[in-house]
Structure 1
Amino acid sequence: MTLVLEEGKQVALEQKSTYAVVAITKHGVELARSLHATFPQADLFYMSKFERGDEQRRHISLFEGNVRLLLPSLFQSYKGIIMIVSLGAVVRMIAPLLKDKKTDPAVVVIDDKGEHVISVLSGHLGGANELTKEVAELLGATPVITTASDVQKTIPVDLFGSRFGWVWESGEKLTPVSASVVNEEQVAVIQESGEKEWWTYDRPLPETIKVYETIEEALEAKPNAALVVTHRNLNNNEKEILFNGVLYRPKVIVIGMGCNRGTSMEEIEKVICDTLDELQFSIKSVKAICSIDLKKDEEGLLAVSQKYNWEFTCYSAEELNRMQIDDPSETVFKFTGAYGVSEPAARLYSGAESLSLIKKKSGNVTISVAVIPY
């Protein structure tokens, strides 16, 4: 396939992979073909004048014209772009395409000899830093990463907990809090829930980063910035910690649920939202809905899970009956074979000894809520 690049016209790409590799020189093409053979997640593009005859068999795309005209299509289609082009030229070509670090793809540059792999754009959120390391390892090259938190081996604020699925409540303070971290100002970490293994370096936390048991303790210490990890909604006094802070939502809330057959998605969703509001829990921290396997095809439960991208896990009656529960029901057993659904399902998935809500009946829905202990 040969793409003809023309000014003002966007080309249609036959995207097969997550990343794109682009080369425009003789040596660059040799390097790109070698990388393409060992990096199957990438589609390869190079100039048609370097055609070898095996491009169709190897699913390689050729192009004619200025590579600059190819970039708008690559930016829209790929998670990351690996360019074997000089760094200065890449910077000039991508400048008009940049929008936001939350949406721009990763851009990585390799020199013509394959000696250095450079993270250029979207190092953290876009994954260019990790892509740089991976490509450098494949080529036996030196990775070049300039992101301050990576270089200093400290907390990357915009990616804190991302490998566990943590999400920010708001990204408004990401930049100033990141500045506090890399400038070695006093930073408080307050973690009430979520995975504990977030420090991955083989050295202690920097002295400027201190972990506190409670928000109250952190406020008394008057830090320059804060990272708060909790599934709770903060009260007005606690919100003071966010004057220069980022609030992270770990995926720790498990919802056990039973319902009558045919219960609407809207009713299920309302019960969940109302219950979380009563508990003062954030919906962003929900990880899963759990029920009995009789409900594995329940449309309302499936629809809510899909809307919020939650796991939907169902257990057999035998599995549920193995759990010690506070409120067994002969009526539930008569219809399901289990002495409870929402309560044992929440206990079984979460592994929690006590529940935040043992059981509440609301209309056609029964709900229990647990927090995964770490």
Structure 2
Amino acid sequence: MTLLLEEGKLPEVDVRNAYAIVAITKHGTLLARKLHVLFENADLYYMGKFEKGDEAEKSITLFNGSVRLLLPSLFGAYKGIILIISLGAVVRMIAPILRDKKTDPGIVVLDDKGEHVISVLSGHLGGANELTAEVAALLGARPVITTASDVQKTIPVDLFGKRFGWVWESAEKLTPVSASVVNEEKVVVIQESGERNWWQHDRPLPANIVIYKSIPEALAEKPDAALVVTHRLLREDEQRILDNGVLYRPKVIVLGIGCNRGTSASEILSVIKETLVELQLSFKSVKAVATIDLKKDEEGLLEAVQEQGWEFRCYTPEELNSVDIKDPSETVYKYTGAYGVSEPAALLCSKESDLELVKKKSGNVTISVAVMKHDGR
């Protein structure tokens, strides 16, 4: 495939992978072809005048015209872009198309000889720092990363728990809390739930960061900043920990759901939200929905799960009946072959031995709630 790049026309790119590699020089093309073999999950683009004859066979895209005209199409299509182009030229070309650090792709620049790999844009949120380290390792090059938390080997506040699926309640305090972390001010981490192995370096936590089990305990220390990890809704007296704090929601809540045939997604989601508020639990901490395999094609349930991006687990009646439950039902058994649906499904999926909510019936929906524990796991 060859693209003809013209002013005023946005080229259509054939996106097959998550990353793009782009080269515009003879030596850069040779390096790009080498990296294309080493680095899986990348599409390769280089100028048509360096055509080797095997591009179609290797799914390589050629282009004729200024690479500046190609970048807007790549920007919106790829998770990360690896450019074998001078740093200054890259900065000038991407400046007009920058949008937001939450949506811009990670941009990494290599020199023609493959000696340096530079993280240029979206180092944390866009994954450019991680991409830089990976590409440098593949090529035996030197990674160049200037993000303060990486250089100082401390907690990257905007990425804290991201690999586990943790999400922020609000991004409002990310910048000031990050400043407290890198400036070595007193920072507390309060973790009530979620994965415990988030610090994976072969060195202790920085001395200015201390872990506490509860918010009152942490508040007593009068910290400069806080990282709070919990699936709970905070009480009013706990809210001041967020004056300069970031609240993270770990994915620990499993919902067991049973519903009548034809129940709408809106009713299912309404019952879920209402129930979690009653339990003072965060909707953002929901990880999965579990049910009986008879419901694997239930349209409303599938729509609700897909809309929220939750995991969806289905179990056979035999699997559900293998779990001891507090409220077995002969009526449910008559229609499904299982003595319960929401209760045993939540227990099986969470791998827990007890539930936050055993069972509640609301309209056409029955719901059970489990919270996954990670202590010592």
Same fold (TM over 0.5): yes
Distance 1:339 1:178 in 2: 51
The residue that corresponds to 1:346 in the other structure is 346
Distance 2:252 2:369 in 1: 10
Q: Deviation digits for residues 235-291 of structure 1, max 9, x if unmatched?
A: 221111111111111111111111222222222121111101111111111011111
Alignment of 1:119 with 2:119, yes or no, is yes
Distance 2:97 2:363 in 1: 52
Give the Å deviation of 1:233.
Answer: 1.0
Distance 1:20 1:363 in 2: 50
SS at match of 1:234: coil
Give the Å deviation of 1:354.
Answer: 2.3
* Segment drifting more, 3-12 vs 168-177: 3-12
Alignment of 1:50 with 2:50, yes or no, is yes
**Contact conserved, 1:351 with 1:373, CA < 8 A, in 2?**
no
Give the Å deviation of 1:317.
Answer: 1.6
The residue that corresponds to 1:269 in the other structure is 269
Distance 1:271 1:93 in 2: 49
- For residues 164-203 of structure 1, the aligned pairs below 5 Å read 164-203=164-203
User: Counterpart amino acid of 1:363?
Assistant: G
Equivalent residue pairs, number: 374
Give the Å deviation of 1:43.
Answer: 1.5
Give the Å deviation of 1:158.
Answer: 0.6
Give the Å deviation of 1:134.
Answer: 1.4
Distance 1:238 1:373 in 2: 22
Moved over 6 A (4+): none
Distance 2:54 2:173 in 1: 51
- For residues 325-344 of structure 1, the aligned pairs below 5 Å read 325-344=325-344
The residue that corresponds to 2:370 in the other structure is 370
TM-score with structure 1 setting the length: 0.97
The residue that corresponds to 1:284 in the other structure is 284
Distance 2:62 2:348 in 1: 54
Q: Deviation digits for residues 47-90 of structure 1, max 9, x if unmatched?
A: 22222222222222222222222211111211111111111111
The residue that corresponds to 2:251 in the other structure is 251
User: Counterpart amino acid of 1:122?
Assistant: S
Alignment of 1:75 with 2:45, yes or no, is no
Distance 2:205 2:56 in 1: 51
Distance 1:339 1:14 in 2: 51
User: Counterpart amino acid of 1:141?
Assistant: A
Distance 1:364 1:3 in 2: 55
Distance 1:35 1:159 in 2: 27
CA RMSD of aligned residues (A): 1.3
User: Counterpart amino acid of 1:177?
Assistant: V
- For residues 1-374 of structure 1, the aligned pairs below 5 Å read 1-374=1-374
Distance 2:351 2:3 in 1: 55
User: Counterpart amino acid of 2:30?
Assistant: E
Percent identity of the aligned residues?
72
Give the Å deviation of 1:334.
Answer: 2.2
SS at match of 1:237: helix
Structure 1: stretches of 5+ with no match in the other structure:
none
Structure 2: stretches of 5+ with no match in the other structure:
none
TM-score with structure 2 setting the length: 0.96
